[in-house]
Amino acid sequence: MTALPLAPRSGGRSGGRSGGTRQLAGTTPLLRLALRRDRVLIPVWVGVNALMVLSMPGTIRSLYGTAAERAGLLRQLETSASLRAMTGPVFGDSYGALTVWRAGVYAGALAAVMSLLLVVRHTRDEEESGRAELISSAMVGRRAPLTAALLTAAVANALLGGLVTAGLAAQGGTGAAAFGLGVAGLGMVFATLAAILAQLTESARSARGLTAAVLGAAFLLRAAGDSATADGSSVLTWLSPLGWLENLRAFAGERWWVLLLFAGTALLQGALAYALAERRDLGMSFLPARPGPAAGRLSGPGALARRLQRGSLLGWSIGFLLAGMVYGTMAEGAADLVGGNEGARRIIERMGGEAGLVDAFLSAMTGMLGLVATLYIVASVLRMHGEETSGRAEPVLAGAVGRLRWAAGHLAVAFGGTVLIMLLAGLGLALGHGRDTGPLLGACLAQVPAVWVIGGAAVLLHGLLPRAAVAAWAVAGAVLLIGWVGPALDVPRAVLDLSPFGHLPKLPGGQMEWTPVLVLTALAAALVTAGLAGLRRRDLLTG
């Protein structure tokens, strides 16, 4: 591929400044373009994350309204290694400190995912699609695309941090500012990490996958460290950026110096990303993809789709199996954690039905895993969109492969993969809890029709409104928000029913109801059919 035209390097001190300016030429228009393209994606990610955090003080107040209840929670956390592994330790009994304990790890993880998606989308994705080469032929400096991508991530994280700070200010302005800065700083650490991996790898898929793998490793390190100590002092915790966020200790005697870890890491990683970007040609990488065999081994579009998505499916499968095992080990401790707290008991039973508390807890956890599975199916369905906009689908469809056959391969991975990861989640729950596998597998499989409905909505958007296909993330985000926050806030039943998960039977422990399961399956099939009909009739996207 043709190398990216470079601005001439200038010698001398004064010329260096002029050369640096030329290297950044075009940054502002590229930033405006990126923000315009992400005018849906950024508000959805920021809004869902901020609402999750800001709903916590009211939820915790309803659960632990007295000082004695909060003190009992702290004592329970000191002795529950599995619960600390999931949410981290707690450093104070104020509503602000408990909010950071309950939502901090997940808010930071969501900020990291948002940041890595944004940076890879505006760097390696642009190179794969050919748009970066077109843009670089104009008066655009070599550093401008990477700078615009990082600034886009910075804008999103600043917006998230500002909303979190403003929303939690009533709990204490100092703690709110520390937590908001910590979440934004964690997002920028993973934004700059994604920028490095976008230079090292040859595909956007690999860059996203490797960055997500680092995030998963950070979660595991933090979980291992927190399960070993109750004060976040483990070396394993300090090796994880997620551990830095909890050791910032917002609302509990803030450690402001921890913010220097975020800032220093982001600056060093950003400098490395720029150094790597200046030493490679456009479209190239430092870790080139391994060439395939001389004779093709793929038997058709279905095999190609499986080959393209097998890494992602493997990662999700391992994650769901491990998550199921962790939730399973926590089930018996649910009664001890809740104790005599009727508010917490009602929320768990509202999420999991009116059966015994352990069954209600397991039902709530299967529901949470089902909600998270919507992210998998949306990402898998939208892989078709990526193949189409990058131009890779066109040569496949130029042969004897029809559009429906091409789409069927990707949809088989998306919808069949959902069944696989939910089965593995059920297996993990059974292994962790040590009970019969059948009921837990059935409970997890009961979530599949609701997940399929969200996947069907993604197919519909891709088929009928391909340029708005990214709105499928907004649908998944809204469902996640209703499922996570709705029961805790005791929202009206009409709001909960807006989510397909609100119609599912509460298993294990409840009665199996086939009518909503069959109706949701039929609805998913109708959405997929309508989306495929639209795909057959419209023109292919070229960018």
Q: What is the pLDDT of residues 136-172, one digit of tens each?
A: 777 777 788 889 999 999 999 999 999 999 999 999 8
Which residues lie across from 287 on neighbouring strands?
201
Question: How far apart, in whole angstroms, are the C-alpha atoms of residue 148 and residue 43?
Answer: 18
Sign of the CA dihedral with 178 first, then 179, 184, and 188 last: positive
Cα–Cα separations (whole angstroms), residue 521 to 14, 103, 185, 441, 511: 67, 33, 42, 18, 19
**Which token pair is 96?**
């602000």
Q: Compute φ and ψ for 140, nearest 5 degrees.
A: -125, 125
Question: Is pTM, for the whole model, over 0.95?
Answer: no
Peptide bond into 508 cis (omega under 30): yes
Cβ atoms of residues 432 and 442 within 8 Å: no
Distances (CA, A) of 55 to 59, 345, 490, 502: 6, 18, 11, 20
* The pair of three-digit structure tokens given for residue 386, joined into one six-digit string: 């990526």
CA-nearest of 492, 486, 496 to 58 is 486
Which of 26-35, 178-187, 493-502 shows the lowest mean pLDDT across its residues? 493-502
Q: What is the pLDDT of residue 306?
A: 84
Amino acid 345: pLDDT: 54
For residue 224, pLDDT over 90 is answered with: no
Q: What is the mean pLDDT of residues 164-191?
A: 93
How many angstroms separate the CA atoms of 506 and 79, rounded? 30
pLDDT score of 266: 95
Confidence label for 7 from pLDDT (cuts 50, 70 and 90)? very low
For the ranges 91-105, 253-267, 291-305, the one whose mean pLDDT is highest: 253-267
Q: Are 418 and 377 in contact (CB under 8 A)?
A: yes
Which pLDDT score is estimated for 356?
59
Confidence of residue 333 (pLDDT cuts 50, 70, 90): low
Which whole number is the average pLDDT over 374-402? 84
| Local confidence band at 272 (pLDDT 50, 70, 90 cut-offs) | very high
The pLDDT, as a whole number, for residue 11 is: 40
**pLDDT score at 438:** 79
Helix, strand, coil proportions of the chain in percent (round to 5)? 75, 0, 25
Tell me the average pLDDT across 240-258: 92
- What contacts 357, CB < 8 A, 6 or more positions away? 334, 335, 338, 345, 348, 349
Average pLDDT over residues 413-427: 93
Assigned token pair, 12: 């001398």
Q: What is the mean pLDDT of residues 261-285?
A: 87
Cβ atoms within 10 Å, residue 236: 17
Where does the pLDDT of residue 8 fall: very low under 50, low under 70, confident under 90, or very high at 90 and above?
very low
Q: Which residue in this structure is represented by tokens 């609701």?
A: 450
Q: What is the DSSP letter of 143?
A: T
Predicted confidence at residue 342, as pLDDT, reads 55
| Range with lowest mean pLDDT among 165-174, 289-298, 382-391 | 289-298
* Nearest by Cα to 126 from 278, 280, 283: 283
Q: pLDDT at residue 377 above 90?
A: yes
Q: What distance in Å separates the CA atoms of residue 426 and residue 325, rounded to the nearest whole number?
A: 9
In one-letter notation, the amino acid at residue 369 is L
Q: Which of 114-128, 183-197, 372-386, 488-502 is the least confident region?
A: 488-502
Among 433-442, 486-495, 509-518, the range scoring the smallest mean pLDDT is: 486-495
pLDDT of residue 137: 72
Residue bearing tokens 């793998």: 213
Q: Do the Cβ atoms of 90 and 101 come closer than 8 Å?
A: yes
Assigned token pair, 468:
């708005």
Over residues 490-515, mean pLDDT: 79
Retrieve residue 375's tokens: 């992210």
To the nearest whole number, what is the mean pLDDT of the chain?
82
CB proximity list for 228: less than 8 A, separation 6 or greater? 81, 234, 236
Q: What does the alpha-carbon distance between residue 21 and residue 39 come to, in Å, rounded to a whole number?
A: 28
For 412, phi and psi rounded to 5 degrees?
A: -65, -40
Q: What is the reported pLDDT for 419?
A: 94
CB 361 within 8 A of CB 352: yes
